[in-house]
Chains A and B, each alone.
Chain A
Amino acid sequence: GESVGLHLPTLSVQEGDNSIINCAYSNSASDYFIWYKQESGKGPQFIIDIRSNMDKRQGQRVTVLLNKTVKHLSLQIAATQPGDSAVYFCAEKSVLTGGGNKLTFGTGTQLKVEL
């Protein structure tokens, strides 16, 4: 079955450094991926998405890279700030039998920003 996993459960970075969070997926037919950020005590918040016909997409301080050959997704955060401390989830889209779409989430990576 499909699965979405993460290489590192916890990532610690110094403030101002760049962060890279990785994600592996197993369903080669997935055509859409999302990164979410979840702060303590809050619900997941959309950060950035990418379709499978793209290799790279940039947002404000964030970049998502997609390597379909090895089924790997990464989130890069530039100049990491204390407010970036959170759990980051990748998710892949698939079609539900009852109609609509669903997201399959990875287990998450805890990003800790050290001052």
Chain B
Amino acid sequence: NAGVTQTPKFQVLKTGQSMTLQCAQDMNHNSMYWYRQDPGMGLRLIYYSASEGTTDKGEVPNGYNVSRLNKREFSLRLESAAPSQTSVYFCASSDGVQPLAKNIQYFGAGTRLSVL
């Protein structure tokens, strides 16, 4: 059982380049999330998908777009990378949709992105 799989693990981009980070989960979870992690700032939510067919902005969505391709896959796209987007990106999934549900999120191993 792989859980949450992210690709690539590492990436170096030049300013202005575009790329897509891929995420897939095999736990049949409804909700998926993209976070970025910067030193001393914890995890910040970029975008999320509460269920298949829906996506919404999180705390720091500027410069990113997402696609919930199907129930398993949720991709994050940087259209024109900037140095401020240098970070570690984590994808997560959870089964909790209802407000009273727990929201145990399971995380992938991360993508380490450097924008030069």
Q: Residues of A with Cβ closer than 8 Å to B? A: 4, 31-32, 34, 41-46, 49, 89, 93, 95-103, 105-108
Contacts and interface: CB of A to CB of B under 8 A. Distances in A.
Given A96-B48, A99-B50, A106-B42, A45 B107 contact: yes
Contact of A43 (B44, B48, B51, B107): B107
Interface stretch (B11-19, B67-75, B76-84, B95-103): B95-103
Interface string B80-116: 0000000000101010110111111111111000000
Secondary structure of the B side of the interface? loop
Contacts, number: 75
Interface of B: 4, 30-31, 33, 40-45, 48, 50-51, 54, 56, 58, 90, 92, 94, 96-97, 99-110
B103 A101 contact: yes
Contacts of A95: 99
B50 A105 contact: no
